[in-house]
Copies of this chain bind each other. A is one copy, B any other.
Amino acid sequence: MSTFKYSVAVQAADFDLSAEVRALTAADHAAGAVASFVGLVRDNNDGTGVADMTLEHYPGMTEKALEEIVLKAGERWELLGVRVIHRIGHLMPGDQIVLVVVSSPHRGNAFSACEFIMDYLKTQAPFWKKETTDVGSRWVDARVSDDDAMAKWRDQIGL
């Protein structure tokens, strides 16, 4: 019998996607599907060049929010494992910001849970981006499209 295992981390250090996938799937061979997401720092935002970025967070609440998100996914879909890593501190264009890895016996559940976790994280986990751009330093505005993505899940799965 496979059980659901998960872990979340908030860290300054970079991560390796392959190593995280291996760690999540090494314990047994029940997983047929691994869906992953990696968010990267873009070199532009709304048409303005971005030189670098700083990620601020709410220590304690970030880890708690991420765990709640993962547990909600684990209740909704048949999952074997979830790993979430969110970086904080100073990042450059091309740097990895966030990782979500989901393993499941079948791919539909893995894809849905991975996208759900990202959409939920985007609107519920207390991180804030400040970017240095061509026209100065600025806090990134929240996107309406992220609220829309979250609302879609609320409609679909009644969260």
Q: Among the listed stretches A40-48, A62-70, A71-79, A130-138, which one makes contact with chain B, having 4 or more residues with CB under 8 Å of it?
A: A40-48
> Within 8 Å CB of A57, what residues of B?
none
Interface of A is mostly: mixed
Pick from B16, B29, B41: contact of A42, CB below 8 A. B29
Count this chain's copies in the assembly.
Answer: 2
Pick from B21, B30, B110, B115: contact of A17, CB below 8 A. B21
Find out whether the CB atom of A40 lies under 8 angstroms from the CB atom of B36: no
CA distance A146 to B103 in the complex (A): 18
A residues with a Cβ closer than 8 A to B are: 16-19, 21, 25-26, 28-44, 93-94, 105-108, 110-111, 114-115, 118, 145, 149
